[in-house]
Amino acid sequence: MLTSPYYKGDVRFRGATYEGIHEPLVSPEIWYRVQAVPTAHQSSGEKTQAHDHYLKGTLYCGQCRSRLILTNAKSRRGVIYPYFICAGRHAKRTNCEQRSMFVPDVEAAVENYFRRVQVPEHTVTALRELITAEFDRLHATAKQERHAYTSERDDLREERTKLLQAHYARAVPLDLLKTEQDRIASRIAFLDAQINAGDIEYEQAQAHLDDCLALAADCHAVYMSIDDSLRRIANQAFFERLIVTDDSVDGEPGTPFNVFFNPQMQETAARRQSRATESGTQTGDVAGLNNDIMVGAAGFEPATPGL
Rounded to whole angstroms, how far apart are CA atoms 1 and 26?
A: 13
Query: What pairs with residue 12 in β-bridges?
Result: 17
The pLDDT, as a whole number, for residue 213 is: 92
DSSP string, 222-287: HHHHS-HHHHHHHHHHHEEEEEEETTEEEEEEPTTHHHHT-HHHHHHHHHHHHHHHHHTS--S-GG
Rounded to whole angstroms, how far apart are CA atoms 301 and 181?
A: 34
Rounded to whole angstroms, how far apart are CA atoms 129 and 271?
A: 12
pTM of the model: 0.61
Residue ranges, the chain, pLDDT below 50: 1, 14, 16, 40-51, 283, 286-288, 290-293, 295-306
Rounded to whole angstroms, how far apart are CA atoms 86 and 99?
A: 8
The pLDDT, as a whole number, for residue 240 is: 94
Q: Is 292 helix (H, G, I), strand (E, B) or coil?
A: coil
Q: Is the peptide bond before 256 cis (omega within 30 degrees of 0)?
A: yes
DSSP H or E run through 80: strand 80-86
Helix axes 263-279, 121-168, angle to 10 degrees: 90
Rounded to whole angstroms, how far apart are CA atoms 56 and 303?
A: 25
Q: How many other C-beta atoms are found inside a 10 Å radius of the C-beta of residue 103?
A: 18
What's 105-119 look like in SS3? HHHHHHHHHHHHHCC
Rounded to whole angstroms, how far apart are CA atoms 124 and 117?
A: 12
The pLDDT, as a whole number, for residue 22 is: 67
Rounded to whole angstroms, how far apart are CA atoms 119 and 121?
A: 6
Cα angle 246, 249, 255 (rounded to 5 degrees) comes to 150
3-state helix, strand, coil split of the chain in percent (to 5) is 60, 15, 30
Work out how many domains the chain is built from and give that number.
1
The region that residue 96 occupies, defined by phi over 0 for left and psi between -120 and 50 for alpha, beta otherwise, is beta
On the 0-12 / 13-18 / 19+ scale of CB atoms within 10 A, 132 is middle
- Residue 132 structural domain: 1-307
The pLDDT, as a whole number, for residue 144 is: 80
The pLDDT, as a whole number, for residue 207 is: 73
Query: What pairs with residue 16 in β-bridges?
Result: 13
The pLDDT, as a whole number, for residue 58 is: 92
The region that residue 70 occupies, defined by phi over 0 for left and psi between -120 and 50 for alpha, beta otherwise, is beta
- For 283-293, the pLDDT digits (tens) are 455 444 544 44
